[in-house]
Amino acid sequence: MLFDTHINLHGEVYDEDRQDVIERAEAAGVKLFLSICDKPENVAAISAISDPRPNFWRTVGCHPHYAKDHTDLTSEWLVSVAQSPKVAAIGETGLDQHYGYSDLDDQKSVFQQHIEAAQETGLPIVVHTREADDETGDMLEAAYAQKPFKILMHCYTSGERLARRAIDLDAYFSVSGIVTFKNAHDVRAVAELYPQDRMILETDCPYLAPVPMRGRRNEPAFLTHICEYMAEFKGVSTDEMSQITTDNALRLFSRVKEGMA
């Protein structure tokens, strides 16, 4: 059984065949799904996809790209929306200086609200970080020192120093299709550092389709390729990698495990 811990099936690229995509994933052995909230105005659309399906859960949050549009976002609002038993995490949130869609100060302000919501709810925070290693590490460490909280470094492509700082905060790391890319040498080098009990898998679909599907619209069924690659990379069987990463994800996303009981 595989758990795709980061999907974006509410995107319009799936409007014509969303149910077919889900059925292909389930047929491939992907049995659990976490739908990621990219911005508050999409909560209803994501809920409509996730809440009726017993093997789907969701998050609540605001991607750093959209921070400029949500500078009034509060931890109180995040906590209130997260009361639903279908909400298994806070985010996606974090810092991204690659595209500069939002001012860094706005990103930091919104990120801080997510951190406080994670601290309040006990739910893990899904962290996106790109070209902001020091700033991300500083904010996570400062908050963790005040009150520990569960951290997931999603689709991690940043440097070794931030990875080591996050490991010291007991963070988990999710591996995406990027790890299969021919030139992703740095990503693979850092992946060597991930503790085996804190490594999980994701597609981040519709983005980042893994080899041999690269260039296509990504979908959860392709998680099998990431699992197979990581099994070989770590020197275990595909079944072992599936078991390890699913067990890790269920430990991190405790509401999913509770919902399965």
CATH number at residue 218: 3.20.20.140
- Domain containing 163: what range? 2-260
Work out the average pLDDT over 249-258: 97
pTM attached to this predicted model: 0.97
Sign of the torsion formed by the C-alpha atoms of 30, 34, 39 and 44? positive
Residue 32 one-letter amino acid: L
pLDDT at 65: 97
Based on the structure, what is the number of domains in the chain? 1
Work out the average pLDDT over 107-122: 98
Identify whether 92 is preceded by a cis peptide bond (ω within 30 of 0).
yes
E runs forming strands in the chain: 2-7, 30-35, 56-60, 87-96, 125-130, 151-153, 172-175, 199-201
Among 175, 155, 156, which Cα is nearest to 165's?
156
pLDDT at 172: 98
Phi and psi at residue 106, to the nearest 5°: -65, -40
Work out the average pLDDT over 86-102: 96
The residue to which tokens 């799936």 are assigned: 14
Residues contacting 144, CB < 8 A, separation 6+: 151, 169
Give percent of the chain above pLDDT 90. 98
pLDDT at 88: 98
pLDDT at 100: 87
Assign 238 a pLDDT band (cuts: 50, 70, 90).
very high
Tell me the average pLDDT of the chain. Answer: 97
